Amino acid sequence: MSCGCEAWLPYAQQRDVESVLRLAEEFEISSPCVRLSSHFFRLLTMGYLTRNDVIKAKCVIRRWNESLKRAAITEDDNDARARLMLQKVADYCARYAYGNAFKEMVKNLTNSTSGEDVACLQECLLDNLAARYVEQRTGFYSEANDLRRFAAALDVSPADVEARLQRVRMDHLRCLQSASAASVPMACETLRCAVQMGG
């Protein structure tokens, strides 16, 4: 691992995406002369997509592309596949096509050599894409909460979808607990998300 990844690995393992993003942003600001790796850009992009901040994710991908052009080096095949996959995922998210974004990621899952921090955020992003898809179908489109139908649309099992929804619910509840000392509006917004994900 490089770029200070050891510092944010424990947070990635705890699914604390906000802390991962904070540490990554702090590292980038404090080390302006360091050439950032594809590993770093991948982590940052997935973090922003997990947060559903598509604008920042696309900005990171643009900087990732520019960094490769400036370095004039041959990109590793795994890094190239991950970059292109995340570009497509970001494009799908920009169009609110969360089901397509989920399937694009599942189809192009990176192997374990990517690092544990990337693997952890990859799962967080997949969980959140599945949850957004279900929320979109049941909320915006007012469809019945039919996990079997949603799972079929995502090309996974109902048990897989339920497990992902449960992890997102737990993430929201942990966020609510940590926000208990924060402002009331923040706590209310977190509670709203947790209730919605309860389906």
Q: Where are the domains of the chain?
A: 5-197
Q: What is the mean pLDDT of residues 48-69?
A: 95
Cβ atoms of residues 24 and 40 within 8 Å: yes
Number of alpha carbons in the 13 Å side-chain half-sphere of residue 132: 21
Angle between helix 116-135 and helix 147-154 axes, rounded to 10 deg: 130
pTM score of the predicted model: 0.86
For 70-109, write each residue's pLDDT tens digit. Answer: 877 778 888 899 999 999 999 999 999 999 999 999 998 8
Query: Torsions phi, psi of 139, nearest 5?
Result: -90, -70
Q: Which amino acid is at 6?
A: E
The encoded tokens of residue 188 equal 């209310």
Cα–Cα nearest to 134, from 119, 152, 108: 152
The residues near 88 (Cβ < 8 Å, ≥ 6 apart) are 101, 104
Q: What is the mean pLDDT of residues 33-59?
A: 93
Model confidence at 6: pLDDT above 80: no
- Round the average pLDDT of the chain to a whole number and report it: 87
Q: What is the mean pLDDT of residues 123-135?
A: 97
Cα–Cα nearest to 86, from 53, 108, 63: 108
